[in-house]
Amino acid sequence: MTSTSTMDTQGSVAQCRRICDAGADYVRLTAQGVREANNIGEIRKILRSEGYAVPLIADIHFNPSAAYAAAKVVDKVRINPGNFVDAARTFKTLTYTEEEYARELQRIHDALTPFIDLCREHHTAVRLGVNHGSLSDRIMSRYGDTPEGMVESVMEFLRVFEAEGFHDVVISMKASNTVLMVEAVRLMVEAMDKEGMHYPLHLGVTEAGDGEDGRIKSAVGIGTLLAEGIGDTIRVSLSEEPELEVPVAEKLVKYISLRQGHAPIKGGVSQGYDRIRPQRRRTAVVGGIVGGGKVPVTVVSCLPGNVYGKPRPDFYYIADGKVPTAQGRYIVPSSKYKGGDNVSPLFVMEDIGELLECDSSMKWLRVPADTDVESGMLDFLRGRNDVVLVVTPSSVNVPGSQQAFMHALIDRGIDAPAIPLNRYPDSDNEWLQVKAGADFGTLLLNGFRDGVWLEAPNYKNFSDIVRYEYAILQAGRQRISKTEFISCPGCGRTMYDLQSTVRKVKEATSHLSHLKIGIMGCVVNGPGEMADADYGYVGAGVGRISLYKGKECVEKNIPEEEAIPRLIALIKAGGDWREPDRE
């Protein structure tokens, strides 16, 4: 999606070119009003004259008139069921009788029918795009701020399109919370299946942020769904130049596509497993730190001296067994194990006999994912609370093979904690972020949450590897280790320099690891996403900012140059400020 003003014709054309040259299959531009919608048509003409045949999509919020204008000149119109017919949300609770609610649905039908007729006349496709941050008061009053509310918001509109026989429709369900986004899409598929609908799905984690966090968060959410065969188009949203989003999306699609045609993985889904809302696998607690209800742990294969700054991993694997005197928890090969309070041995399958004789209070057993659990060879683990399984993949479908193994453990009644160990040959950081985010994220979001162990033998920055592990856990909402920034990618509605502002807000607040802070370009999703953030910085106009605490706007239209100091003052007034660590 472009970040230029849609009325900046040449700037928008140039950005569209860059996005296309980066490999995008289509480009979306915002249309706040009729004037902007019409100008997308002019942008389209220029691009066509230059040989760019990329479809253009108009992004509409609050203004049906803009949607009508856009439908005549673009290839697709995105409308948001949360604000296309209903008024802008105010977070008020509304009460309806069944008759009154039925009249609301009829109002939606009456409002959509002429728009559908216009799109049919001009052969214009439609995207019904729901964002968690922009559900209407009517939907939230009946369904709450929930995935179910997101689904029903779409279904109300989709039923009208079905009734009118218009099927050039794509669906998107986006949220900044990956757990919520994945659940909403899964529920959407289930809802469509129940009503015999099978529309394409557009996937994205909205307000994912920038840098490694934005890439990993997108890989976690989108990759989990792609691994299930869900998704027809994707968009990676980064608070960066839009053309930088495309290579990330291409890497994600390419990586998941490598699994096509792989040999079948033996296994099934454990009894009682909820595919839509997977619960954490029940495991024993080992060593007081791994498994059970404990946060997922991190393991890195290096010496403590190879990791600089924070965060630090929970365990270091020392391949040569030479444990340093530095404080930490260490894992060594069983052949190198000589005892010690903070040292535990790693066995392999061939050494189970030695494992049974080992008196260490914590032992690690490395097993390939295609280990035959049903044969009973791991039954000796039942009832023990001293063994952690380290599961290596046995298929190009990395999380598929590991999940099959863990489902087999459940069915066999084995509750030993299980940590996936995934190794990637990549030396490129973006490839490593995408692959690790997609694989570990799928396991985390599907209930397998005892820890992560990422190895990258050709990637020598171990501090990066540790950060990626923690970023994956945070993206999966399993372990919060730093400030959670919910920042939008920017568009033509953004009234300030988003990228520099994100950097400045991060510089001022990145030590507040207990908080979620939203940095939003405008009010379309800003206030809604503030419901998931503790504090928010939202564009209110040219050079003007509004500050939020939760959903409440506490300071309106303040000058941009005063906004960050006043955000800090607001956090302090709320009792949530902590001074930075001076180490």
Strands (E), 458-542: 484-487, 516-520, 535-541
Confidence grade of residue 233 (pLDDT, cut at 50, 70, 90): very high
Average pLDDT over residues 547-567: 91
pLDDT at 89: 67
Tell me, rounded to whole angstroms, the distance of Cα 232 from its chain centroid: 17
d(CA 552, CA 526): 11
Q: What single-letter amino acid sits at 355?
A: L
pLDDT single digits (tens) 9-33: 999 999 999 999 999 999 999 999 9
What is the bridge-based pairing of β-strands 387-392 and 233-234? unpaired
What is the DSSP annotation of 444-474? HHTT--SEEEEE-TT---HHHHHHHHHHHHH
Average model confidence (pLDDT) across the chain: 93
d(CA 537, CA 527): 9
pLDDT single digits (tens) 498-546: 888 889 999 999 999 889 898 888 766 556 656 678 999 988 888 889 9
Query: Which SS3 state, helix, strand or coil, does residue 56 take?
Result: strand
pLDDT single digits (tens) 405-429: 999 999 999 999 999 999 999 999 9
Quick one: which H or E segment has residue 234?
strand 233-234
CA distances from 176 to 212, 531, 539 (A): 15, 11, 18
Average pLDDT over residues 38-62: 96
pLDDT at 341: 86
- Least confident residue range of 66-75, 127-136, 275-284, 564-573: 127-136
pLDDT at 525: 58
Sign for the CA dihedral angle at 237, 242, 248, 252 comes to positive
Residues in the chain: 583
pLDDT single digits (tens) 193-229: 999 999 999 999 987 788 899 999 999 999 999 999 9
pLDDT at 582: 63
Report pTM.
0.92
pLDDT single digits (tens) 101-125: 999 999 999 999 999 999 999 999 9
pLDDT at 550: 85
pLDDT at 87: 74
Q: Is a pLDDT exceeding 70 seen at residue 76?
A: yes
Quick one: which H or E segment has residue 312?
none
Pick from 475, 391, 486, 482: nearest CA to 437: 475
Confidence grade of residue 92 (pLDDT, cut at 50, 70, 90): confident
- Of 99 and 522, more confident: 99
What is the bridge-based pairing of β-strands 285-286 and 290-291? antiparallel
- Least confident residue range of 49-53, 76-80, 453-457, 503-507: 503-507
pLDDT single digits (tens) 460-491: 899 999 999 999 999 999 999 988 888 877 77
